[in-house]
Structure 1
């Protein structure tokens, strides 16, 4: 008779995501996962296949949740310029409130794993393409409404805003001066005209 799982898979995935996000892949041992998740090693192997597979699932879960949140946030914004400002401001505020200073899970994974992991490089590149695509669509909304000049190179600006957001998340881990960071945001947003 098959064993019945005595844990909630989504809750376990969320917890694993938090542990990997805080510690990184290499610094998280299988024993750390057993202790933190409160499930035995056999259950982790049976359900996820192992540490790497659990990490991949947790990282995919993080990206899925963040993509949905980003799209919902931008869709709720009336003004494109103000929407980007709020997005960046939210990132700064989240970093300031994070006592663990975890930063962005995607950036952390990039710096830890990409130099030696071709598969993860492809995941990160796909994530960048998705993000810049969302930014480009949002910028087009501003062009269509007349808020942004039609002569702007929307594709390049979307890429720049993605790069800026990632840089802002890194700097926010060590710099808690929200006013100064917001001044940088306002400077970048002058590119929108």
Structure 2
């Protein structure tokens, strides 16, 4: 039937995410996306308009889910527990898959920021939103548990997540990444760790 999608959109977007995660934005082609999603190129073009538009759609879905999960992770009794749970969420995300897919936002901003302004803008908006989620999570804990105020602490936390993403690409294990994050949290909370 003309005008009716002949594929499951949720499944297709999930598969497209895996393709972008595996190859990165720049190296992913429409033939790669067609193969990876099992949807013909013409149908992908008709439904989404092209690689950039498909990526933006996939990235929007990915970031909304990531932000919601991050906010849930930050719900804890104290700042240290909230931050450790948040970093655990981040480490699980960047080390998932075989091979691990890494951090889509970090990889994309490095890969595409100069050439694709809309994609760079979407990544920047996600990082700003993530900083706000961390800021709000720190405020919600309400125990003034960082050596900085909530806004500078949130900014530093988000910067550290980018560093963890790079370390993952340099073949650090999930346990090593969690250890780095825990050391950082100890510094940020005034050495309040129990390790």
Pairing 1:96-107 to 2, within 5 Å after superposition: 96=95, 98-107=97-106
- Residue among 166, 187, 192 paired with 1:170: 166
Gaps of 5+ in 1: none
Asked whether 1:157 is paired with 2:153, we answer yes
Summarize the Cα distance change of 1:124–1:5 in structure 2 as closer, same or farther, 3 Å threshold.
closer
Report what 1:137 is aligned to: 136
Report what 1:26 is aligned to: 26
Report what 1:111 is aligned to: 110
Q: TM-score, normalised by structure 1?
A: 0.85
Which secondary structure does the structure 2 equivalent of 1:115 belong to? coil
Q: TM-score, normalised by structure 2?
A: 0.84
- How much has 1:95 moved relative to structure 2? 4.5
RMSD: 2.3
Task: Flag the structure with higher helix content.
Answer: 1
Report what 1:121 is aligned to: 120
Summarize the Cα distance change of 1:64–1:121 in structure 2 as closer, same or farther, 3 Å threshold.
same
Q: CA contact under 8 A between 1:110 and 1:124: conserved in structure 2?
A: yes
Summarize the Cα distance change of 1:12–1:22 in structure 2 as closer, same or farther, 3 Å threshold.
same
Pairing 1:16-55 to 2, within 5 Å after superposition: 16-55=16-55
- How much has 1:123 moved relative to structure 2? 1.7
Summarize the Cα distance change of 1:13–1:180 in structure 2 as closer, same or farther, 3 Å threshold.
closer
Q: CA contact under 8 A between 1:15 and 1:37: conserved in structure 2?
A: yes
Summarize the Cα distance change of 1:40–1:159 in structure 2 as closer, same or farther, 3 Å threshold.
same
Q: CA contact under 8 A between 2:56 and 2:122: conserved in structure 1?
A: no
Question: What CA distance in whole angstroms lies between the structure 2 residues aligned with 1:33 and 1:70?
Answer: 28
- How much has 1:186 moved relative to structure 2? 2.7
Gaps of 5+ in 2: 191-195
Summarize the Cα distance change of 1:185–1:31 in structure 2 as closer, same or farther, 3 Å threshold.
closer
Summarize the Cα distance change of 1:182–1:46 in structure 2 as closer, same or farther, 3 Å threshold.
closer
Q: Which has the larger radius of gyration?
A: 1
